[in-house]
């Protein structure tokens, strides 16, 4: 009987040791760390939680009061820092040690954190940030786009044409597909030299079916189809039958060119939309891509029509640079597109074959696009975008396209 009692007592002690071993291990470990920390730096060792402070050191630190229900993970997420960095900093500046394990904040009521979290946050910036297209990232709801296009003759300092337009854009999801609806609200300003005014009036009138586009967007950001293609074609056919359109189409100067251009297959004509910078910016050319927290350059699949060489599409290399301002919750992405070097020779061949006998002069061609995207760093929603396109020929003619995009949906306004 006695042996059974003794055995039961030893068994209970053994099981208790096993159960409380992690606590004892943590206590012993913390005691040893305090001892060695004190040996290494006895003068600057201090306690953050209500024992005593080093006045000179506390200028660099703040005390975070732990709320009920908070964990290390939730605090780190709220402060936008890494859990391990938070634990390491706290343990380096206080004797109330914590650990990133199941005991976490056991018996801890306050955390010692830097007054300025910028460096700790920057240390946690990932090299790769995943960007999705099926959630709130790059939300394209209620966008307003202001676009200014102008053509100048630099030598004469003469403005040939300037058009300022305002678009409204909405994005929706249907059967896992992104639909982008583009409405042209109004022309804010139009200044055109007399020689271009008739053609501009014609294109404005006959282009009305394109004022509203519903586009199907692929995950890579490219336009898959014009959803309201049939509606646009019907509107165009009806418009052609009006007296105003017939008068324009029968005009000896403009008629033949208009008929040939506007009566072509509308789906092919709208391919320009897919290749035009402003529509790629609406729901940016960053779907299913990654951000890299460093500068890099690569050749893109972006192609734009030249304003000087109608039959040629210009290809681009892209240079990207990223700037973080974590205190302002801002991420700035600067993208600069440059016409690839080979385009110079390609266009030179076209130029010489068509105009060599008429203009005996070398060709100097440049095309660049500067884009700046401003995002919220906490949720990566785009807040605004500004783009400047500039195309020059022989330092005499210049085409400029400025685009400003404002994202006004309520979700982003609350950020």
Among 124, 147, 174, give the residue marking a domain's end: 124
286/307 same-domain check:
yes
Q: Contact at 8 Å (CB) between 322 and 345?
A: no
Q: Look at residue 262 and tell me if it is in a domain.
A: no
Residue-number span of the structural domain to which 91 is assigned: 24-124
CATH number at residue 292: 2.30.230
50/142 same-domain check:
no
pLDDT tens-digit profile of 153-182? 766 666 667 777 777 777 676 665 667 777
Q: Look at residue 220 and tell me if it is in a domain.
A: no
Q: Report helix, strand or coil for 10.
A: helix
Count CB atoms within 10 A of the CB of residue 77. Answer: 11
> CA–CA separation, 136 vs 381, rounded Å?
7
Q: Contact at 8 Å (CB) between 192 and 161?
A: yes
Among 66, 89, 124, give the residue marking a domain's end: 124
357/391 same-domain check:
yes
> CA–CA separation, 78 vs 114, rounded Å?
14
Q: Look at residue 184 and tell me if it is in a domain.
A: yes
pLDDT tens-digit profile of 323-371? 777 677 777 878 888 887 666 666 666 655 555 444 545 567 788 888 8
Among 108, 124, 140, give the residue marking a domain's end: 124
Number of domains in the chain: 2
Q: Look at residue 257 and tell me if it is in a domain.
A: no
Q: Look at residue 227 and tell me if it is in a domain.
A: no
pLDDT tens-digit profile of 101-143? 766 777 788 898 888 776 776 566 544 444 444 444 445 556 7
Q: Look at residue 258 and tell me if it is in a domain.
A: no
């Amino acid at each position: 009987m006695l042996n059974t009692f003794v055995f039961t007592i030893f068994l209970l002690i053994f099981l208790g040791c096993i159960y409380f071993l992690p606590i004892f291990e943590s206590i012993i470990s913390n005691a040893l760390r305090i001892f060695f920390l004190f040996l290494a730096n006895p003068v600057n060792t201090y306690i953050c939680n209500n024992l005593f402070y080093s006045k000179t050191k506390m200028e660099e630190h703040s005390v975070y009061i732990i709320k009920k229900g908070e964990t290390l993970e939730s605090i780190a997420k709220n402060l936008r820092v890494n859990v391990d960095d938070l634990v390491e900093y706290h343990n380096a500046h206080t004797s109330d040690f914590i650990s990133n394990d199941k005991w976490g904040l056991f018996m801890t009521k306050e955390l010692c954190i830097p007054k300025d979290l910028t460096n700790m946050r920057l240390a946690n910036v990932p090299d790769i940030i995943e960007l999705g297209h099926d959630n709130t990232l790059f939300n394209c709801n209620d966008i307003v786009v202001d676009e200014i296009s102008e053509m100048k003759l630099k030598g004469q300092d003469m403005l040939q044409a300037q058009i300022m337009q305002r678009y409204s854009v909405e994005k929706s999801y249907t059967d896992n597909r992104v639909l982008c609806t583009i409405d042209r609200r109004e022309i804010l300003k139009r200044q055109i030299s007399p020689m271009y005014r008739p053609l501009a009036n014609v294109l404005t009138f006959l282009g009305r079916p394109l004022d509203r586009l519903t586009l199907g967007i692929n995950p890579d950001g490219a336009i898959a189809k014009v959803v309201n293609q049939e509606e646009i074609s019907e509107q165009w056919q009806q418009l052609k039958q009006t007296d105003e359109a017939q008068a324009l189409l029968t005009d000896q100067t403009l008629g033949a060119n208009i008929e040939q251009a506007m009566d072509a297959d509308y789906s092919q004509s709208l391919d320009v939309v897919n290749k035009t910078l402003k529509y790629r910016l609406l729901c940016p050319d960053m779907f299913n891509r990654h951000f890299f927290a460093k500068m890099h350059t690569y050749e893109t699949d972006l192609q734009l029509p030249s304003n000087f060489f109608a039959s040629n599409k210009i290809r681009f290399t892209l240079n990207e640079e990223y700037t973080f301002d974590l205190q302002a919750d801002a991420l700035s992405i600067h993208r600069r597109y440059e016409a690839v070097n080979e385009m110079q020779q390609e266009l030179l061949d076209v130029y010489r074959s068509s105009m060599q006998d008429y203009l005996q002069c070398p060709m100097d061609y440049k095309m660049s696009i500067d884009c700046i995207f401003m995002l919220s760093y906490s949720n990566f929603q785009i807040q605004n975008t500004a783009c400047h396109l500039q195309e020059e020929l022989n330092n005499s003619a210049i085409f400029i396209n400025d685009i400003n995009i404002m994202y006004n949906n309520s979700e982003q306004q609350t950020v």
